[in-house]
Structure 1
């Protein structure tokens, strides 16, 4: 055995040449058990700051941040929806404002919801440009791009991207975009980093996007259960 640097807590780390393993002699910190990890996975779906989750579960903020980074990195960034038959499909599209690091660094969350199943069927995070509206359109499963009637507000980027024959521009008073607007409120209620005045704002774009995808996958899974 040889000495092999130090841990984050300045304890000497050892390396066993025979087995290729590293260890700390007389370790006082235990590995995080599976039940605690499952609890953290659930708390990430609520409007809690990482510091609050660390206090509730008793894990260190440093370990929690590494766990969250890995969790959001591994979260799929594509939509999986229940099988749809070709025919009359209806979706509602909208975008909500968010930011990373500071309010000057704006990132818009583009969303599409199936008006019948209430599933989120499209998601893209970017600016509020035509190019990013196209990103939302391309995130839709093929059956929606081929068949769906699309209801949106008057934002001009939609008119430049969506098929003209299947695009319906409506005001909020019609109720034709009520489901996606209600989901926007759900996002702000459930994801702390999307609250307009918050100390839990994202500092990394990758985690910002990962947290949104993580919640959307949970939301769709809950609809199917």
Structure 2
């Protein structure tokens, strides 16, 4: 007596053959029409593209991964793997519109977070163009001269050549930025845009909230999350 095989979940074809077993011993099937391989009543949920698109948006809000997993009804291990791959693929170079040489102004500041534990502080160095509000420089690392140098090197060349940089009085800026391009200022309007952006990022990236259980366990994910938000922020500006 012939045995009824489950129809193909992709094309509903009944031209199905048995195709060995998967790792847990369940029978694997293959569709002769479209080539789809599948098991009956799979334990692993297939994550569709709309769910992935929603996850991409939720990663830009102050929601920990456990919360995103609950909202989207995916497993935490799958979500962590998805996020790891996404952050690994994020470009670590600023993407801004080309600027002509001329009078340019940037504001620089640094903010702290930690990775793994509170003893492992990581500093986020940022540079913001005062006119366009674009983030034009990023570096994540220590707060010494090396960090300031990496921030300066991350700027597009037109800003290194033409821009006046306003910062606080942290000595690392003075040690790295050419004197004719740097001006240290107090808590005044010359750095208000970058300070406002720091607040925005702390409120939008859950890993940066001071009192949180969402901090990064891996420095790679910390860096990826920051760059992911910076790219989103720059592309959302109406220039």
Q: Could you tell me how far apart the structure 1 residues matched to 2:215 and 2:190 are?
A: 31
Q: 1:13 to 1:46 in 2, by over 3 A?
A: farther
2:108 match:
93
| Structure-1 residue corresponding to 2:190 | 176
CA contact (8 A) 1:4 1:14 kept: yes
Paired residue secondary structure (2:237): helix
2:59 & 2:212 partners in 1: Cα distance?
16
Shift of 1:224: 3.6
Aligned to 1:53: 68
User: What is the aligned partner in structure 2 of residue 147 from structure 1?
Assistant: 162
1:207 equivalent in structure 2:
221
Partners of 2:140 and 2:49 lie apart in 1 by 32
Instruction: Report how far residue 21 of structure 1 moved.
Output: 8.6
Structure 2 spans left out of the alignment, 5+ residues? 1-18
Q: Deviations over 1:85-107 (max 9, x none)?
A: 10000000000000001110010
**How much has 1:25 moved relative to structure 2?**
4.6
Quote the Cα distance in structure 2 between the aligned partners of 1:24 and 1:76. 37
TM-score, length of structure 2 as denominator length? 0.86
State the structure with more CA Rg: 2
The equivalent of 1:5 in structure 2 is 23
Structure 2 distance, partners of 1:109, 1:73, is 18
Aligned ranges 1:19-168 → 2 under 5 Å: 23-168=38-183
Shift of 1:2: 4.3
Hey, what's the Cα distance between the residues in 2 that align with 1:62 and 1:12?
Answer: 22
Query: 1:188 corresponds to which residue?
Result: 202
| Misfit runs of 4+, over 6 Å | none
Measure how far apart 1:116 and its partner are: 0.2
8 Å contact from structure 1 (residues 93, 180) kept in 2: yes
1:131-178: CA deviations, max 9, x gaps? Answer: 111000000001001110000000000000001111101001x31000
- Partners in 2 of 1:153 and 1:29 — Cα distance? 52
Deviation by residue 1:104-125 (Cα, 9 ceiling, x = unmatched): 0010000000000000000000
Structure 1 length-normalised TM:
0.91
Contact 1:51 1:61 in 2 (8 A): yes
Q: Could you list the runs of 5+ residues in structure 1 that have no partner in the other structure?
A: none
CA distance in 1, matches of 2:20, 2:44: 21
Q: Are the counterparts in 2 of residues 5 and 13 from structure 1 also a CA contact under 8 Å?
A: no
CA contact 1:13–1:22 (8 Å) conserved in 2? no
> How far has the Cα of 1:29 moved from its partner?
3.7
Structure 1 residue 31: Cα displacement: 1.2
Q: Cα distance 1:143–1:60, how it changes in 2: closer, same or farther (>3 A)?
A: same
Residues matched between the structures, number? 219
